Each structure stands twice: as structure tokens, then as C-alpha cells.
Amino acid sequence: VSKENADFLSRQRQEQTQIVSQQDEALDQLSASAQRLGNTAQIINSELREQQKMLEALDEDIDKETEKLNFVMKRMGRLLKTSDNKQLCLIIGLIALIVVLIFLVINT
């Protein structure tokens, strides 16, 4: 009976050791996965910060260009309110001349 008990206890210890070893392997794999996930999260965070800076710069550029466009629109409004037809015809003629010159420059 004593030998049977000793054999049983020995087998149980081996099984426990094997179970602990398997759990250690599983924990190591889980740890590696968590590290990869953490690294990926850091990369994503870095990319998001970079994208945020780019969006802020774009927003500033859009604001500047909107101000310029508003200025031009006001000037165009004043120009169109001009009662002098000669001035308006001269402007239209100059615009047509510019278009023709651009066309000639591009095609030659």
C-alpha cells in the first residue's frame, strides 16, 4: 500500500508540474501578446497625434484662405457695383487677354 501511495503521489506531482509548466507557457504567450498589443497601441497613438497636428495645420490654412477669399469677394462686389461701364468693359477685356495669353503660353 505504501508503494502504491508513493507511486500515486509521484504521478500527481508530475501531473502538477506538467500543469504548472503548461500554465507558464500560456502566461508567456499571453504576456507576449500583451506586449505586441501595447506596442501597436503606442504606434497608433503616435500616428493619431501626427494626424491631429496635420489637421490643425490644415484648419489654419483653410482659415487663412477663407479670409483671403472673403477679401477678394468684397473687392469683386465693389467692382461689380461700379456704375462706370467703361471700367467694367476694360476689366472684362483684360481678363479675356490674360486667358488668351495663358492659353498661348501653355500651347507653345
With respect to residue 90, please indicate whether it lies within any of the assigned structural domains: no
Considering the domain boundaries, does residue 91 fall inside one? Answer: no
> For residue 83, what is the DSSP state?
-
Ramachandran angles phi, psi of 84, nearest 5°: -85, 110
Give CA angle at 68 (66, 70), nearest 5°.
Answer: 70
Residue 47, domain member (yes or no): yes
Number of structural domains found in the chain = 1
Residue 16 domain flag:
yes
Residue 106 lies in a domain: no
Kindly report, residue by residue over 75-104, the tens digit of the pLDDT: 877 777 766 777 778 888 999 999 999 988
- Full domain range(s) for residue 30: 2-81
Give the pTM: 0.53
Residue 67: inside a domain, yes or no? yes
Q: What is the pLDDT of residue 86?
A: 78
